[in-house]
Structure 1
Amino acid sequence: MSHSHPIHQANENSPYGDLTREQFYKKHQILHQQTFMLNKKNMKIFTQSWRPDSSTHLKGLVAMVHGYASDSGWLFELTAVAIAKAGFLVFALDLQGHGCSDGTPGHIPKIQYIVRDCITFFDSMKAKNPKLPSFLYGESLGGAISVLICLEQKYEWDGLILSGSMCGISPKFKPIWPLEKLLPVAALFAPSWKTVASKPVASKSYKEEWKRRLVARNPNRRTSGKPPAATAMEFLRVCEYIKMHCHELEVPFIMLHGEDDTVCDYESARFVYKSALSEDKTLKIFSGMWHILVGETEENVEIVFGNVLSWMEERAAKAKTRTK
């Protein structure tokens, strides 16, 4: 069954090409819903979901977590639609400080608050569909958050898909040595100071030039990707934490990584892959590809996406027969 990724119908001005968002959903036969939830700190967190607009039985649930300086809409949403078209109910939220959610732009001083938001929302969606197998899909920073969710909710997920996940920050992106030593101090006294060590992420993330222009046009984009000191500090801490605890991972997972990813290091992905206890684990490193895999050429997007879909469909079928 071939499913083409809707990114191929986008252009540099809109992810929906020449269609309105509503026409786009109609064309792809997708039912879309969006709403806000209040988290424990009374912040409004934007959430949305996509499902196939047909009476076909759903194969499973897919919770998606976007990366830093991204959000659950725009380009990220196209992958959600592609997965929904394959027969899944897909849902995502805008992380604090991203997209339409409350919070200081790009400010993530404590990842735990974000993990909490995700678990609250994802659990509520799973509670409405208790019989369906559920998967977690994380991209970049969203990959790190997904790993943290799986470490906390050990046996509550049927599979984990990690795309360009932040298990370690590439040495090319890491702050230069004295700066790394200064970060804790800077985070304490000037949490919103932008680290000079990191370059704007989009220029290093999306290989295709027109997709970079499309990313820049996202109306809900609130930061271009230079993390404040407190956030950069937290990212380093999260990478260390994952390094120390990834051997506890038991969930079936697939990791997809571009070999030329200069944002999140594929060697760290390999370390997580080797360390994890999971009996069912797959690592795919794609030669010549960059950080955000949907930013590749049409042919490459189809290769990566074909891998993701067939992996999920197989695991969903297995999980279904288990629960019968």
Structure 2
Amino acid sequence: MDYPGFGLSEGLHGYIPSFDRLVDDVVEHFSKVKENPEYRALPSFLFGQSLGGAVALKVHLKQPNAWSGAVLVAPMCKIADEMVPPFLVKQLLIGIAYLLPKQKLVPQKNLAEAAFRDLRKREMTSYNVIAYKDKPRLQSALELLRTTQEIEHQLEKVSLPLLILHGEADIVTDPSVSKALYEKASHKDKKFILYKDAYHSLLEGEPDDMIIRVFSDIISWLDDHSNKSTAS
């Protein structure tokens, strides 16, 4: 699923006027999917990577009893300090955002360099023509910052079976907050895997052996929890 303004969806590229509206779109879409008689009796899991991890958590907080579990890959519970502008610059950008919300003015490190450990795969990111590669738009950056601050203060409200996967060397989203989510989440069925030396993009940017390992961990967990859900 491409969010509005991302991938091949309609909307200004890379623009998030409201993160809550984006989450509501996801809730509406998958609520309709789950109304299908073919799927109604099946277990359903939230899956989100990076920004999608924040979306998945917000969906769960809006629908606390609607999902059988969640798989979160390097979830955006907090943007790593290395990716956030200095305090004075941040305050200046917040002020400008009220006047020029769509402008691409947020300073940012090279995301491919920060997120992809495998050099060959890092080079291939330039061929992804639908990916947003410019500086973040002001309103989008503020929405992400506001959302991560909100999530960080609600970790104990996360109350569903949980698999959290994070790269130890991630400098895009903060692995320490994923660990805090694991510790504070109220459901007893939870698992946190920290991959040594891995960067942010666990499913696309790592050497093949690491990617295979991550997918194996996800599939194993989903198999186990699909059987549990079916049995219950």
TM bucket normalised to smaller = over 0.9
Instruction: Quote the residue 1:247 is aligned against.
Output: 156
Query: What's the CA shift string for 1:66-103, capped at 9, x where partnerless?
Result: xxxxxxxxxxxxxxxxxxxxxxxxxxx11010111111
Aligned residues: 229
Q: Say whether the 8 Å CA contact 2:106–2:137 is kept in structure 1.
A: no
Change (3 A) 1:225 1:161: farther
Query: What's the CA shift string for 1:127-172, capped at 9, x where partnerless?
Result: 1110100011100000000000000111111010000110001111
Higher relative contact order (CA 8 A, sep 6+): 2
Q: Structure 1 residues 122-131 or 307-316, which shifts more?
A: 122-131
Instruction: Quote the residue 1:310 is aligned against.
Output: 220
Q: Say whether the 8 Å CA contact 2:105–2:138 is kept in structure 1.
A: yes
Q: Say whether the 8 Å CA contact 1:199–1:226 is kept in structure 2.
A: no
Q: Equivalent of 2:195, from 260, 264, 286?
A: 286
SS at match of 2:81: coil
More strand by percentage: 1
Structure 2: gaps (5+ residues)? none
More helix by percentage: 2
Q: Structure 1 residues 248-257 or 295-304, which shifts more?
A: 295-304
- C-alpha distance in 1, partners of 2:126/2:185? 36
- C-alpha distance in 2, partners of 1:183/1:251? 36
Query: What CA RMSD, in Å, does the superposition of the two structures yield over aligned residues?
Result: 1.3
Q: What are the residue-to-residue correspondences of 1:143-292 with 2, within 5 Å? A: 143-221=53-131, 223-224=132-133, 226-292=135-201
Change (3 A) 1:254 1:225: farther
Instruction: Quote the residue 1:52 is aligned against.
Output: none
Whether 2:32 is the aligned partner of 1:104: answer: no
> Residue 225 of structure 1: CA displacement?
5.1
Q: Say whether the 8 Å CA contact 1:201–1:225 is kept in structure 2.
A: no
Q: Structure 1 residues 177-186 or 304-313, which shifts more?
A: 177-186
Q: TM-score, normalised by structure 1?
A: 0.68
Percent identical pairs in the alignment equals 31
- C-alpha distance in 2, partners of 1:243/1:153? 18
Change (3 A) 1:107 1:154: same
Letter aligned with residue 230 of structure 2:
K
Q: Say whether the 8 Å CA contact 1:250–1:276 is kept in structure 2.
A: yes
